[in-house]
Amino acid sequence: MSILNQIFLNICLIIRQILPPQPCLLCGSATTRQGWCAACHATLPAYSASKCPVCALPTPHGETCGRCQQQPPHFSRTCAAYVYSFPLDKLILALKFRAQFQLARPLAEAMAQQIQRMPDCLVAMPLHPHRLRVRGYNQSQLLARELARQLRLPLFSSACMRTRNTSTQSTLKWKDRNRNLRDAFSCSAAISGKHVAIVDDVMTSGSSVNELAKSLRAAGATEVSVWVIARTLPDDR
């Protein structure tokens, strides 16, 4: 780490200690932690159950699930820090729709703890330019920026584009999501020959990351991993 970076981090640390406690986004009690308090932290649904290493859906002994064996996706593994359920869903929605940017750092820290195999670079799940204009920011880009900083990995911000403004995936049934996303992404050759990790907030059917992984592989990526804050489990829908 350069001396300038070290000084900057120390200044951030001092500022955090000086700032008055902030309300926890989940219960409202004052906390010096970023985003949520220690008591609420203990209630977050960590994803510790045995799961398929490829798609992160539960399997009895952590083996690859039947679906991934029969129809392997275009990515090799999925790392998910949490199950997408209460009260974590409130934090993700606050980051995604209420511009609670301070959540990106602690959520990225939880994601970073799950990583076992380091990629060569990161890309964020892109938003279509129209949706980016409406929302004003891309929450996956905020997470990817934090992860790149924490893990000292290059982030290829403009390597992937969403070329079609697809319907919002969450309004569709799981089986309709693949069709909705066909040819939705284009990726530059910057990622050729690299192991790329896609950073996204939530993985539900996996259709979006699979379509992006397909485009990354077509552009020459040798391997694709998927990093998400949380995995939606089928029973939770």
- Of 169, 168, 171, 143, nearest in space to 157 by CA: 143
Task: Please tell me whether residue 24 binds Zn ion under the rule CB under 5 A.
Answer: yes
For the CB of residue 57, give the shortest distance to Zn ion in the complex, in Å: 5
Q: Which is nearer to Zn ion, 51 or 96 (CB)?
A: 51
Give yes or no for a contact between 120 and 148, defined as CB atoms under 8 angstroms apart.
no
157: Cβ contacts below 8 Å, ≥ 6 apart: 123, 124, 141, 144
- Of 168, 39, 76, nearest in space to 30 by CA: 39
Exactly one of 35, 47, 51, 55 binds Zn ion (CB under 5 A); that residue is 55
- Of 208, 124, 210, nearest in space to 172 by CA: 208
Question: Within 10 Å of residue 50's Cβ, how many Cβ atoms?
Answer: 11
The interface region with Zn ion, picked from 58-66, 119-127, 132-140, 151-159 by CB under 5 A, is 58-66
Distance CA 182, CA 166 (A): 9
For the CB of residue 206, give the shortest distance to Zn ion in the complex, in Å: 9
Task: Please tell me whether residue 233 binds Zn ion under the rule CB under 5 A.
Answer: no
Distance CA 91, CA 86 (A): 9
Q: Which is nearer to Zn ion, 37 or 148 (CB)?
A: 37
Bridge partners (DSSP) listed for residue 199? 124, 227
Q: Which is nearer to Zn ion, 52 or 104 (CB)?
A: 52
Cα torsion 150, 114, 24, 237: sign: positive
For the CB of residue 231, give the shortest distance to Zn ion in the complex, in Å: 11
Exactly one of 44, 54, 94, 196 binds Zn ion (CB under 5 A); that residue is 54
What single string gives the DSSP state of each residue in 67-121?
HHHHS--SSSEEEEEEES-TTHHHHHHHHHHS--GGGHHHHHHHHHTT--S--SE
Exactly one of 35, 47, 52, 209 binds Zn ion (CB under 5 A); that residue is 52
Exactly one of 37, 143, 144, 155 binds Zn ion (CB under 5 A); that residue is 37
Exactly one of 26, 44, 81, 219 binds Zn ion (CB under 5 A); that residue is 26
Binding mask 68-97 for Zn ion (x = CB under 5 A): x-----------------------------
Q: Which is nearer to Zn ion, 102 or 186 (CB)?
A: 102
Q: Which is nearer to Zn ion, 18 or 42 (CB)?
A: 42
For the CB of residue 24, give the shortest distance to Zn ion in the complex, in Å: 3
Q: Which residues bind Zn ion (CB under 5 A)?
A: 24, 26-27, 37, 40, 52, 54-55, 65, 68
